[in-house]
């Protein structure tokens, strides 16, 4: 199921220590922030985010046009998500049920 961003919406700058992510932009335009700087993404672009701080990333909507995207993840358990701007760390693990 695709995610949708409203005007001014986005995902906080972060990286994972265990799970890789793949972002597929379906509709609209996004600004992608990485350690290399900012760049604009358009519909149809695909970006891979391996683990580690050198692959930190954030996305934000560019204008008032609808944005939809899909994120595919390896969902490794356990995983830590680091948020460098806020100096926060989130750790999670999945259990069998």
Domains of the chain: 3-90 (2.60.120.10)
Say what the pLDDT of residue 78 is: 83
Which pLDDT band holds residue 44 (cuts at 50, 70, 90)?
Answer: very high
- The stretch 40-52 carries a mean pLDDT of 96
Say what the pLDDT of residue 64 is: 86
Closest of 70, 67, 90 to residue 17, by C-alpha: 90
Say if residue 41's pLDDT is above 90.
yes
Tally the residues of the chain: 97
The percent of residues in the chain predicted with pLDDT above 70, rounded, is 99
Closest of 66, 57, 73 to residue 25, by C-alpha: 66
Say if residue 97's pLDDT is above 70.
no
pLDDT tens track for 63-90: 888 899 999 998 877 889 999 999 999 9
pLDDT tens track for 1-16: 899 998 888 999 999 9
Q: Report the distance separating Cα 68 and Cα 37, nearest Å.
A: 22
- The stretch 21-47 carries a mean pLDDT of 97
């Amino acid at each position: 199921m695709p995610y949708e961003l409203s005007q001014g919406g986005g995902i906080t700058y972060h990286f994972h220590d265990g799970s890789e992510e793949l972002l597929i932009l379906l509709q609209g335009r996004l600004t992608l922030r990485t350690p290399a700087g900012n760049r604009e993404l358009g519909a149809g672009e695909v970006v891979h985010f391996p683990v580690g701080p050198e692959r930190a990333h954030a996305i934000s909507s560019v204008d008032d046009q609808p944005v939809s995207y899909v994120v595919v993840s390896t969902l490794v358990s356990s995983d830590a998500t680091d948020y460098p701007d806020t100096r926060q760390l989130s750790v999670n693990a999945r259990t069998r049920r």
